[in-house]
Amino acid sequence: MTFLDASKRALRKEPIYPAEVDGKELLLTLQQKDLVVLYEEHADEIQWRDANWMAQHVYSIKSFDRLGAIRMVLHKRSNANPNFPKLYPTGTTYTKKVNTFRGQLVKLDVLGNILRAK
C-alpha cells in the first residue's frame, strides 16, 4: 500500500490495515517511539514485577525499513543509533525482522510503572 492510499483511508476514517487477513487476526501494530518488552520464546517469560529484569528488556522502536527490519534501542539509551550497533555495548540495540519479532507492547503510567498496552 502506498502512503497516498493510507492517507486517503485515514481521512475517511477507514482502517489502514484490515483486522483480519486470510482468517488470521492482527496481533499488534507498532510505530516509532513505541515501547516493547522482548522475550525469547513465550510471553510468560516476562517478569513484570522485577524492575531490574524489565530495565534490561524494554526497548523503544526507532525505525523500520522496507525489508521488514525493526530497529530498537534499549529504553534507557534513547540517543543510541541502531544503525551502528558496534558502537554500543551488547544489548543496547537490536534489529529484528517482522517474522522473528517476539515482544509485548507496553506503556508507562503517570508514575513510570510499565504496564501491558492491551
Q: What percent of the chain has pLDDT over 90?
A: 42
Domain chopping of the chain, boundaries: 30-116
- What pLDDT does residue 70 have? 93
| Position 77 pLDDT exceeds 90 | no
Q: Which of left, alpha, beta for 63 (phi over 0: left; psi -120 to 50: alpha)?
A: beta
* 106 contact partners, CB below 8 Å, separation of at least 6: 35, 36, 37, 58, 114, 115, 116, 117
- What pLDDT does residue 118 have? 67
| Position 78 pLDDT exceeds 80 | no
The residue with cell 525499513 is 65
Q: Could you report the per-residue pLDDT of 8-43, keeping only the tens digit for each?
A: 999 999 888 888 888 888 878 889 999 999 999 998
Of 44, 118, 103, 115, nearest to 70 by C-alpha is: 103
Output the nine-digit C-alpha cell for 5. Answer: 492510499
